[in-house]
Amino acid sequence: MNPYEPINCEVHDGFELACIRNAIIELSWREGDAHRHQQVRFLDLENSKEGEFLIAENRQGDRLRIRLDMITSQLPY
């Protein structure tokens, strides 16, 4: 995977607010060579040596860990 590219502070702030609100969002992101698109509930943000990640839950109740710089679009549900 490519090195983490920090995201815009305003976008990051929006992700934090969505987590506080447990917002449900239509989210698209890259995962390796695949492109994913799901409706997810924003739960938390996580920092690690690999970068910053969104912790979310899909409609089936599966937990997802999505690297923030891999998110390509988000729309409120």
Place of tokens 């839950």: 57
Rounded alpha-carbon distances, angstroms, from residue 27 to 14, 49? 13, 24
Q: Does domain 15-76 have CATH number 2.30.30?
A: yes
Tens digits of per-residue pLDDT, 51-74? 999 999 999 999 999 999 999 998
Is the distance from CB of 53 to CB of 31 less than 8 angstroms?
Answer: no
Distance in angstroms (rounded) separating the CA atoms of residues 12 and 35: 21
Tens digits of per-residue pLDDT, 20-55? 999 999 999 999 999 999 999 999 999 999 999 999
